[in-house]
Amino acid sequence: MKDGADAPYPSYETLKAESDETKPELVFTIKDASGKVVKKEYKSVSKGVQRFHWNLRYTPQNPVNLNRSSFYNPFAGNDEGTLVNPGMYTVEMGLLEDGSLKSLTSPVRFEVKALNNVELPAENRAEKVAFQKAIGAVQADMGIAQRLMSETRNKLRHIKVAIKRVEAPVGNWTAEVKAIEDQLDQIQMSMYGDPVKRRLDMDQPMSIASRLGSIGYEQKYSTAQPTQTHRDSYAIVKEAVDKIKGDMERLYNKNLKALEDKLIQAGAPYSPGRGGEPRN
């Protein structure tokens, strides 16, 4: 102001570049002795000496769920996997900026040791960890089947309305929707048991979802050797979940897609998750 000069103001290009810029992050990649990644920790970039603690657990591979409760829910459970096996690990730090990862450090080796503070320690810790991870994989597959079922039912709700609105005869669309819904009900029964028997308080075998939930809960924080009951239950749920997941994937990717393609060809109103052109 003393010099009477113009006040500098950034150009549009500068402001847009600043608006489009993503915040950089530090990525700490932890690997086991074989070089396999077991954990990635993302931390914000800030000045000074920083510290964080790894909880020595794997990251669960369940379907991604971005929903978060607006209040503290003590029954929601923690989004964490099983404890890693004791042994040698490495950690390295990189800078993730503009979609590219730049290495900042060489790998640093460290050892994870088991504390001698448990009543029933597993005789073979590596076998225990492998069993817990196998259960986690089945839980992830079950989660996929559950998510596909939810998405399929949501799509069908919108498809029913689209069928009513389309400027064409009803045809066989309603029958195809009913056939898909009947298959969904059968798959859901194989997952959770017979709802009619449950309502009437009639005996029925333990559902696959309940059996999987039980062994998952009992094994997640256990340091003891898996029991024979857990191994038997795992064999039962593994076979059942493989079939459930396969049935849901075929229903979602084949039957539902075929119905959606017919609606697209008929010019039906748009429904969620449906493309604009029929698929080959």
Tens of pLDDT along 101-148? 999 999 999 999 988 877 778 888 889 999 999 999 999 999 999 999
280 has a pLDDT exceeding 60: no
pLDDT tens, 199-217? Answer: 999 999 999 999 999 999 8
Backbone angles phi, psi at 97, to 5 degrees: -145, 130
**Counting Cβ atoms within 10 Å, is residue 223 exposed (0-12), middle (13-18) or buried (19+)?**
middle
Which residue, 125, 82, 130, 119, is CA-closest to 234? 130
Beta bridge partners of 27: 42, 94
Beta bridge partners of 43: 26
Residue 279's pLDDT is what? 58
What's the whole-number average pLDDT of the chain?
Answer: 90
What is the total residue count of the chain? 280
pLDDT tens, 59-76? Answer: 888 888 877 777 777 776
pTM greater than the 0.75 cutoff: yes
Q: From the centroid of its chain, how far is CA 66?
A: 9
Residue 278's pLDDT is what? 60
Beta bridge partners of 259: none
> What angle separates helix 208-220 from helix 228-250, to the nearest 10 degrees?
130
279, 253 Cβ separation under 8 angstroms: no
Where does the pLDDT of residue 276 fall: very low under 50, low under 70, confident under 90, or very high at 90 and above? Answer: low
In this structure, is the dihedral angle defined by the CA atoms of residues 246, 249, 255 and 258, taken in order, positive or negative?
A: negative
Where does the pLDDT of residue 29 fall: very low under 50, low under 70, confident under 90, or very high at 90 and above? Answer: very high
pLDDT tens, 211-265? Answer: 999 999 888 888 888 999 999 999 999 999 999 999 999 999 999 999 999 999 9
Residue 81's pLDDT is what? 86
Cα 81 to Cα 55: distance, rounded to the nearest angstrom: 10
